[in-house]
Amino acid sequence: MKTIIQNAVDSAGRLGASYADIRIIDSQKQDIMLRNGQISAMDIADNIGFGVRVIVNGAWGFASSAKVEKEEIERVTALAVEVAKASSLLKKDDVKLAPEPVYQDIWVSPYTIDPFKVSISEKLDLLAAIDAELRSKPEIAVSVASMSFVKRHQWMATSEGSLIEQTFMRSGAGFSATAVKDGDVQKRSFPSSFGGQYMSAGYELILGLRLLDAAPQIRDEAIALLSADVCPSGQKDLILDSSQMALQIHESVGHPTELDRVLGMEANFACTSFATTEKYHNFTYGSPIVNLYCDNTLAGGLATIGYDDDAVRSQRWPIVKEGQFVGYQFNRELAHILNADRSVGANRAQGWSHIPIVRNCNLSLMPGDATFEDLIASVDDGIYMAANRSWSIDQKRLNFQFSCEIAWEIKGGKLTRMLKKPNYQGMTPDFWRSCDRIANADHWTLWGVPNCGKGQPMQGAEMSHGSSPALFRSITVGVGN
């Protein structure tokens, strides 16, 4: 493999590339889903291919193919050079890559139990037991239980001399119960919505989630929501559970601080950002207790990797410190915009067939000093919302409206009645500035996000966000209810 990838970057150099890299990725995937007792997904996939990225005449070119053969690599490398020459017909400035040491390294993500060595039947037995528990009451119209595993083996070589081999293992599982009655559809999920929990880990994650133990409560909550009151409308104090906080962090801090968006490179699709460069080190993003850090070295994170797809070693750095905006997520190409010495290592591609772009990293809210009970006790009239149901945010990442699966009213410092159709709306900086208390590290959870879409062609990416539950004062809730 080393010879193959070295030949590609050498070939690109002969064709006029001032920089070249090649990534060959061999991946295995296993997605298993049981829906109402029947298998609705059984995707066992293996996939291999390569992508060649070059700079010619100061402009990028990229080409990819599934045929990892010497002649095909030469053809695709030449195509990438041709594409780059076309790019150079309309360029503003030459691409400048921030310096980075040359690495020759092997990196493997830690795990205990290889999920691909656990039998399909064992996995199906667990999913079937969950399904039976969920559908043991007739109000449940749809039960879904699923597991998902990915093993990715990547070789990367750059014309600068880096030669990096990395192996990444990801596991995930969860379930949901949907209760239907008279046109009312209520859903509860565990441990989080949209497939559950995902981490860089092996099958030990699945065993630790104790999915079957949680099934009766989740089922009963879905049924109870059918007769619950609708979340009232108005300005109220709001406590979000840690999984909804992960969504809040992702949409209103993660994406706005991707520097390519800020610079207009996503303007036609995923759009831009309010967090423009004149605000860098000069903007109050949140209240003084808000501290948000990116960390692609974090154990269990879905963006945790030895090196990004720019061959930059993974790092930890602040985005918001004591409420102040102090950091962006960026790559080698954009580092010079901030006069940064090097990239933070945020350049990742979906796989071998996509060009790397700036992606959300493992971005987390640091824990506070309160217990969860302290948060509840400090609210006289408010709502506690849990588990994301849908999300929408404007093209500069300012005006957002998020809804959750379930909520409880808080009156006089106590949790009271269950509420359905909870949602809240806000403006990003105002919302984070209203953050009044954050629960402590005992309540902090790192949540995997396996479904982040960005770019044209659309690329999926995975990352994690950690948070404890947090309290926000005077938020608009129950919009449209």
For the segment 193-252, give every residue that binds other proteins (CB under 8 A). Answer: none
Please report how close the Cβ of residue 297 comes to other proteins at its closest, in angstroms. 28
Helical (H) or strand (E) element with 172: strand 163-181
Q: What is the dihedral of CA 426, 190, 407, 387, to 10 degrees?
A: 0
Query: Per DSSP, which regions of 337-458 are E strands?
Result: 347-348, 357-358, 363-365, 381-393, 399-411, 414-420, 423-427, 435-438, 445-454
Say if CB 9 and CB 22 are below 8 A apart: yes
- Quick one: 47 or 297, whose CB is closer to other proteins? 47
Q: Does 302 bind other proteins (CB under 8 A)?
A: no
Please identify which residue in 79, 207, 214, 289 interacts with other proteins, judged by CB under 8 A: 79
Say if CB 325 and CB 23 are below 8 A apart: no
Interaxial angle between packed helices 2-14 and 70-87, expressed in degrees from 0 to 180 and rounded to the nearest 10: 40
Residue 253 burial by Cβ neighbours in a 10 Å radius (0-12, 13-18, 19+)? buried
Secondary structure of residue 470 in the 3-state scheme: strand
Please report how close the Cβ of residue 414 comes to other proteins at its closest, in angstroms. 28
Q: Which of 273, 79, 300 is nearest to 208 (CA)?
A: 300
Say if CB 187 and CB 177 are below 8 A apart: yes
Helical (H) or strand (E) element with 24: strand 19-35
From the list 114-122, 207-215, 318-326, 359-367, the region that binds other proteins by CB under 8 A is 114-122
Binding mask 327-356 for other proteins (x = CB under 8 A): --------------------------xxx-
Please report how close the Cβ of residue 469 comes to other proteins at its closest, in angstroms. 23
Q: Does 451 bind other proteins (CB under 8 A)?
A: no
For other proteins, how many residues bind (rule: CB under 8 A)? 83
Please report how close the Cβ of residue 438 comes to other proteins at its closest, in angstroms. 26
Site for other proteins in 414-433 (CB under 8 A): 421, 423, 425, 427
Site for other proteins in 13-72 (CB under 8 A): 33, 35, 38-49, 59-66
From the list 9-17, 220-228, 366-374, 386-394, the region that binds other proteins by CB under 8 A is 386-394
- Quick one: 368 or 426, whose CB is closer to other proteins? 426
- Quick one: 80 or 201, whose CB is closer to other proteins? 80
Site for other proteins in 130-149 (CB under 8 A): 141-142, 144
Please identify which residue in 24, 265, 383, 475 interacts with other proteins, judged by CB under 8 A: 265
- Quick one: 149 or 293, whose CB is closer to other proteins? 149
Helical (H) or strand (E) element with 475: strand 470-477
Alpha-carbon gap, residue 303 to 360, rounded angstroms: 8
Please identify which residue in 11, 57, 77, 87 interacts with other proteins, judged by CB under 8 A: 87
